[in-house]
Amino acid sequence: MHADVDLRGRDFLREADFTAAELDWLIALAGRLKADRAAGAEQQRLVGRVIALIFEKTSTRTRCAFEVAAYHQGAQVTFLDPGSSQMGHKESAADTAAVLAGMYDAIQFRGSAQATVDELAAAADVPVYNGLTDQWHPTQMLADFLTMQEHSGGAPWADVSLAFVGDARNNMGNSMLVMSAIMGADVRIVAPRSLWPAEDVQQLARERAERSGARILLTEDPLEGVVGARFVHTDVWVSMGEPPEVWDSRVELLRPYRVDAALMTATGRSDAAFMHCLPAYHDPRTAVGRQAAVRYGLSDGLEVADEVFSSAASLVFGQAHNRMHTIKALMVATLAG
């Protein structure tokens, strides 16, 4: 813990805007708030606060986490989707921010362009939170690192090893690499070279690793990447709406990176745990899962086999629940007086 950390009024746009001490403090605060909630001892610190939630992209966990966290703390929220906001159509992000900042105590944005959330933050004099963009997913990182801390017995980050397997050139791969570098963890990006984080993201991670002592490995070899890893992370391979030819080429490219029981065994650890930010295509009970079963013969899951997803090694639902606890910590840290 770092008693001198003060995040009041701060934006939360990307992990690299924060120090390891500040991120550790947020994770520790989330743990305390989670314990207070479980003990029936939670104190409301955000009574009278109102938060605007702008969703350009659909969401289950992010929306629910922000709404429930706010309600627990006595705050209120307004949900704005593309059908109920003029942002990007008749009004710029900057103008929208200027309007909302005069009515709300904070603004959350979940959408495509990082430039949009940056523009909101530049124009608003209240905290702006990045609920997800194509480049970064910082609120997910808080939940993931709280989950790993809980399941590693509070070990120092230098003793925590994690592998991100699959399509790593997206927001999850970027954020996992950079957050791990900031915190000083042992992080491996396990993916085809064409799906590694961009070079500027790699360089940022290397710079932060020089300060923290983090160990970074980028490899195309799944076995090299996961050996010794305590936590194995993955994410979906293809986004909804992409054409069939993208699906075909992506699935063919990533088949060797599918997280199945053999890959988990390859960690060499009996305590290896599986993590996924969700939604996951692990069985044929979804439209995507059925497509994968018919088109690719993957009836037991796409990026992760159901034998792993539904196993005792899977932390995915506790990880999802931790979205609420860490987002609550973020709002308390930036808004509570």
Catalytic residue (choose from 118, 144, 235, 300): 235
Angle between helices 316-335 and 138-150 (to 10 degrees): 120
In this structure, the number of other CB atoms found within 10 A of the CB of residue 79 comes to 15
Report whether pLDDT(88) > 80: no
Q: Known catalytic residue: 235?
A: yes
pLDDT bucket at 319, cuts 50 / 70 / 90: very high
Task: Calculate what percentage of the chain has a pLDDT beyond 90.
Answer: 88
Mean pLDDT across 149-165: 97
- C-alpha closest to that of 253 among 210, 301, 296: 296
Looking at every residue in the chain, the average pLDDT score rounds to 95
Q: How confident is the model at residue 292 (pLDDT cuts 50, 70, 90)?
A: confident
Q: Is residue 309 pLDDT above 80, yes or no?
A: yes
Tell me how far apart the alpha carbons of residues 177 and 132 are, in angstroms, rounded to a whole number: 16
List 63, 151, 323, 325, catalytic entry? 323
Q: Are the C-beta atoms of 315 and 273 separated by less than 8 Å?
A: yes
103 near 168, Cβ under 8 Å?
no
What SS3 state is found at 259? strand
What local confidence, expressed as pLDDT, does residue 180 receive?
A: 98
Active-site pick, 108, 135, 140, 319: 140
Q: Is the pLDDT at 86 greater than 80, yes or no?
A: no
Active site residue 49: no
Q: Do the Cβ atoms of 263 and 222 come closer than 8 Å?
A: yes
Question: Pick the catalytic residue: 61, 110, 188, 276?
Answer: 110
75 touches 46 (CB < 8 A)? yes
Catalytic residue among 144, 186, 277, 319: 277
Q: Do domains 15-136+322-335 and 152-314 have the same CATH topology?
A: yes
* Cα separations in angstroms, 322 against 127, 142, 304: 21, 8, 21
Residue of 14, 61, 63, 137 marked active site = 137
Residue 299 CB neighbour total at 10 angstroms: 13
Catalytic site includes residue 291: no
Residue 68 has pLDDT above 70, yes or no: yes
140 as an active site residue: the answer is: yes
Q: What is the pTM of this model?
A: 0.96
pLDDT at site 1: 43
pLDDT digits (tens, 9 = 90+) for 9-37: 999 999 999 999 999 999 999 999 999 99
Residue 105 has pLDDT above 90, yes or no: yes
Residue 2 has a pLDDT of 52
Q: Compute the distance between CA of residue 184 and CA of residue 180 in angstroms, rounded to an integer.
A: 6
* Cα–Cα distance measured from residue 299 to residue 317, given in angstroms and rounded to the nearest whole number: 22
Domain ranges of the chain: 15-136+322-335, 152-314
Strands (E), 166-272: 186-190, 215-219, 231-234
Pick the CATH number of 15-136+322-335 from 3.40.50.300, 2.60.40.10, 3.40.50.1370, 3.40.50.2300: 3.40.50.1370
CB 197 within 8 A of CB 226: no
Contacts of 171 (CB under 8 A, 6+ apart): 132, 133, 134, 135, 136, 137
| Topology given in CATH for the domain delimited by 152-314 | Rossmann fold (3.40.50)
| pLDDT tier at 58, thresholds 50, 70, 90 | confident
**Position 268 pLDDT exceeds 60:** yes
Distance CA 135, CA 137 (A): 7
Extended beta strands in the chain, E state: 50-55, 76-80, 106-110, 128-132, 161-165, 186-190, 215-219, 231-234, 273-276
Q: What is the pLDDT of residues 230-256, one digit of tens each?
A: 999 999 998 756 777 888 999 999 999
Q: Which residues of 204-213 are buried (b: 16+ CB within 10 A; e: fewer)?
A: bbeebbeebe
